[in-house]
Chain A
Amino acid sequence: MRPVRPRTAWKGLLVLAVVAVITVWAGFGVQVDVGALIKNFSNAADKVVLLAQPDYGFFPETLSALAQTLQMAVIATAAGAAIGLPLSFLASRVTDPSRPLVAVVRSVLNVVRSVPDLLYAAILVTIVGTGALSGVIALVLFNVGIVVKLISEAIDAVDRGPLEAALATGATWVRADRAAVLPQILPVYASQTLYVLELNVRASTVIGLVGGGGLGILIDQVRTFYRYHQLSLIILEILVVVVLLEAASSWLRKRLVS
């Protein structure tokens, strides 16, 4: 007996239709205008030519901003990782005996993480003034969110045996966590800290666009004055720094995990 063909095709069509409707709606929302786009692009041919010719003579002037970008990334990573570690222990059911505390820490950090770093920076710039400090604080806020998410997930997956053994000796939770759980997650912690450093180098190159210090400030300046050949040099620098750092970081992380 041949089976009756199940009518499941409408499900796929429905999903497709919903996606199409949302896309058309989004298209109207952002006012898709291909004609204007093409016109702009043809008007912009000379800009593209400038962009294709980086002004290498500008390099010395970018050095201090480049250094500041790296400093901000390192500082924010160190601070974010340091603050994030104890919070991660509070955010995992394995290491934190208080369920309400776990819930509070997790939801606060979910909220913190849902705001992009540049939005923090835009607000902090008016509170603490333009410059590297507002950028660093914005990055730290964002980093704490990421570190706690990644590390508390690692703690959740940890072998509970040693922790039970430590508690059975009469240790307090803090001491038991320190002795039985921390050693298990250290490699993951180190590896994720490097990952956060990668994120921070990218973010700190652009955080200056809203006044947060580093290369971004320079980007904003040369953009305002239409110096495209300098803009392309800065982008080239970002590319080189990010690629080098990622290569180094992924090499180190492979060694850490194995």
Chain B
Amino acid sequence: MSAAAPPVRGKQGPDTDIRARPVLVRPARPRRPGARLVFLAVTAVVVLAFWSVDIDWSQLAGFPANLLRYLGLMFLPPDLSTLPSAFEATVLSVQMAWLGTVLGIVISLPLSFLATAGVGPAWVRWPLRGLFSLLRAVPEVVIAVLILSVTGLTAFTGALAIAVGSVGTLGKWGYEAMEGAERGPSEAVRAAGGSTAQMLRWGMWPSVQPEVLAFWLYRFEINVRASAILGLIGAGGIGKVLADNVQFRIWDAVGTLLIVVVVVTVVIDLVSGALRRKIITGAWR
């Protein structure tokens, strides 16, 4: 009996060989009730959200034309005379992001060491990990609102907010990287009579260093965006200038500001991305 015979289909026409093959029964189409249920539930949630939300969807009809009109106001042409002040405001935002990142690193590095299994005692490790997840769960802007509502609005407190917001992710990435590092070198340092600090420096740091540096750069990229947002709620920099110009409907200046934001963000991402690749792979490109 030829086991390799393909399943016979009735509509294959007058195949002369057809009776020589074993008759196979067509299987029923498989049903996946679980998948169907999930699909229905997701659809229901989405439909419900669209139907129940307090939005007048008819407004959307005029939106494309409206958008084009405003884009025209912003970019045809942008008011390039505001370019220097836009650039200055962007520099402040980048400074805010940089300082926030550096402070975040300074705070998070020792904390992530302490949160690493085998380094800090359990009663330090678990509260720290809880703190990291707490800080990651709250959006940076909310942390900023909290800090800003206590200390007032300045670029410096904005940088502090960014620092605190960074501690959650940097701390978590840090201890995960160190726990993922090979254990051997650390054991060797222990066996040579090294202390915990020396084990971190010579057993763990060499193998996690590139990864951690790349994390820092990546966090800086995120913080550049965060600092622009913090400006919107009053911390200064490009966000504040943008909010002011939107409020007074000076659209050609808004256009210039948007261009500057895009160019600066893209350039920073490109440079930082190239640096990260160099750090991880050891070669430019």
Q: Does A9 make an interface contact (CB < 8 A)?
A: no
Type the 1/0 row for B218-245, where 1 means its CB is closer than 8 Å to any CB of A: 0000000110110011001001001100
Contact A239 B137 (CB under 8 A): yes
Type the 1/0 row for B133-165, where 1 means its CB is closer than 8 Å to any CB of A: 110011101100110011110111111100000
Contact A114 B261 (CB under 8 A): yes
Contact A122 B150 (CB under 8 A): no
Name which residue of chain B comes closest to A67, CB basis: B52
> Looking at chain B's contact residues, is the secondary structure mostly helix, strand, loop, or mixed?
helix
What chain B residues lie within 8 Å of A31 (beta carbons)? 154-156
Contact B145 A219 (CB under 8 A): yes
What chain A residues lie within 8 Å of B56 (beta carbons)? 133
Contact A30 B156 (CB under 8 A): yes
Determine the distance from Cα of A30 to Cα of B99 in the docked complex, in whole angstroms.
Answer: 8
Q: Does A248 make an interface contact (CB < 8 A)?
A: no
Partner among A30, A47, A243 whose Cβ is within 8 Å of the Cβ of B159: A30
Q: Which of A91-99, A123-131, A176-184 contacts B (4 or more CB under 8 A)?
A: A123-131
Q: Which of A151-159, A166-174, A198-206 contacts B (4 or more CB under 8 A)?
A: A198-206
Contact A47 B99 (CB under 8 A): no
Partner among B137, B156, B243 whose Cβ is within 8 Å of the Cβ of A210: B243
Name which residue of chain B comes closest to A31, CB basis: B156
Q: Does A246 make an interface contact (CB < 8 A)?
A: yes
Q: Does B91 make an interface contact (CB < 8 A)?
A: yes
Partner among A114, A219, A228 whose Cβ is within 8 Å of the Cβ of B266: A114
Contact B266 A110 (CB under 8 A): yes
Q: Does B98 make an interface contact (CB < 8 A)?
A: yes
Chain B nearest CB from A144 CB (Å) reads 14
Contact B53 A132 (CB under 8 A): yes
Chain A nearest CB from B270 CB (Å) reads 10
Q: A116-B229, A131-B54, A206-B139 are in contact. Are A111 and B262 (CB under 8 A)?
A: yes
Contact A133 B49 (CB under 8 A): no
Most buried by A among B70, B134, B159, B233: B233
Q: Does B66 make an interface contact (CB < 8 A)?
A: yes
Partner among B53, B152, B155, B239 whose Cβ is within 8 Å of the Cβ of A71: B53
Contact B99 A68 (CB under 8 A): no
What chain A residues lie within 8 Å of B66 (beta carbons)? 127-128
Contact A242 B137 (CB under 8 A): yes
Contact B49 A26 (CB under 8 A): no
Q: How many residues of B contact A (CB 8 A)?
A: 63
Determine the distance from Cα of A114 to Cα of B141 in the docked complex, in whole angstroms.
Answer: 18
Q: Does B59 make an interface contact (CB < 8 A)?
A: yes
Name which residue of chain B comes closest to A38, CB basis: B151
Chain B nearest CB from A76 CB (Å) reads 10
Chain B nearest CB from A35 CB (Å) reads 11
Contact A127 B232 (CB under 8 A): no
Contact B228 A235 (CB under 8 A): no
Q: Does B46 make an interface contact (CB < 8 A)?
A: yes
Partner among B63, B145, B243 whose Cβ is within 8 Å of the Cβ of A137: B63
Chain A nearest CB from B57 CB (Å) reads 8
Determine the distance from Cα of A126 to Cα of B236 in the docked complex, in whole angstroms.
Answer: 20
What chain A residues lie within 8 Å of B4 (beta carbons)? none
For residues 74 through 98 of chain A, which have their beta carbon under 8 Å from a beta carbon of chain B? 74-75, 78
What chain B residues lie within 8 Å of A74 (beta carbons)? 45-46, 49
What chain A residues lie within 8 Å of B254 (beta carbons)? 123
Partner among A122, A133, A206, A239 whose Cβ is within 8 Å of the Cβ of B243: A122
Chain A nearest CB from B113 CB (Å) reads 20
What chain A residues lie within 8 Å of B261 (beta carbons)? 114-115, 119
10 more A-B residue pairs beyond the given contacts A30-B159, A123-B246, A246-B137, with a C-beta to C-beta distance below 8 A: A26-B95, A26-B99, A30-B155, A40-B151, A119-B242, A126-B246, A129-B59, A133-B55, A205-B142, A238-B142
Per CB-CB distance, the 5 closest pairs between chain A and chain B, nearest first, are A29-B95, A30-B155, A26-B95, A74-B49, A114-B265
User: Can you name 18 A-B pairs with beta carbons within 8 Å?
Assistant: A25-B95, A26-B95, A30-B236, A31-B156, A33-B156, A37-B151, A40-B151, A51-B150, A67-B52, A74-B49, A111-B266, A114-B269, A115-B262, A122-B242, A131-B55, A132-B54, A209-B145, A231-B145
